[in-house]
Amino acid sequence: MAKITVSKLKKMKQEGEKITSLTAYDASFSSLFEQQGIHALLVGDSMGMVLQGGSDTLAVTNQDIAYHTRCVRAGAKDTFVIADMPFMTYSNPADACHNAAELMRAGANMVKLEGGEWLYPAIESLTQQGIPVCGHLGLTPQSVHVFGGFKIQGRTNEAAEKMIHDAKALEAAGAQLLVLECIPSELAKAITEAVSIPTIGIGAGKDTDGQILVMHDLVGISAGYIPKFSKNFLLEAGSMPEAVKKYIDDVQSGQFPAPEHEFN
């Protein structure tokens, strides 16, 4: 597989080719995912739950993400690697640049920040310093205590309009990719059409430019429960390589996500 870049991802959106992505936390799995042809890997602060056993993502540190980013990059030389910026590591432009630099040095191609228009100064500063940025709207896990739990976002007209506004603001600030999590499918479609940067959905329906899943959900071993928007591909495929291959095939053919994985 040819090296994946920001330009390649944007071209895929323009040509209607679906982007496939998974979380990854170590060299063994990132190597497997690259061999099967995954386009992008996210070193997610989801590790706070699936690796560290926490009830949320808030305890994850920048050092944790940097360590796992180095591991993921060691296994995947050509795949596009996005590193999550953990809770309270980007509350101002100076902190954002300092912490993002550590993740880029660890091997990331891009950093991901959760939040809306208020992130404009941080994203603008990161972009000026040569650090590509992925935005994240909808259910933003670092704000779980504000939301009162892991709840679907953007269901009212007012909330939907604000999210579309935020998406445009993030693009204007310099973001080059956008994750949309747990929002109604119609809203995800509207956002995808409103911005020129690629959108990657998780619980956001099939009309985003690509899909991402937590790797543990893909194989049905997440602690606690399997989210509505996920699917156990290992159950059908029988092996890890085949499960990843089926996920890629189903995303690119439009079979996943199916209506039962969407929110209205």
Listed in sequence order, the DSSP H helices in the chain are 6-15, 27-36, 47-50, 62-75, 93-105, 120-128, 144-147, 157-173, 185-194, 215-218, 233-237, 240-253
45 annotated ligand-binding residue: yes
Question: What is d(CA 112, CA 242) in angstroms, rounded to the nearest whole number?
Answer: 29
161 annotated ligand-binding residue: no
236 annotated ligand-binding residue: no
Catalytic residues: 181
Bridge-partner residues for 179, per DSSP? 136, 200
Contact between residue 68 and residue 84 where contact means Cβ atoms under 8 Å apart: no
Residues composing the chain: 264
Of the candidates 79, 128, 127, 83, the residue with the CA atom closest to the CA atom of residue 104: 83
Per-position DSSP letters for 20-48, written without gaps between them: EEEE--SHHHHHHHHHHT-SEEEE-TTHH
246 annotated ligand-binding residue: no
26 annotated ligand-binding residue: no
Give the annotated binding-site residues for Mg(2+).
45, 84, 114
Give the annotated binding-site residues.
45-46, 84, 112, 114
Give the annotated binding-site residues for 3-methyl-2-oxobutanoate.
45-46, 84, 112
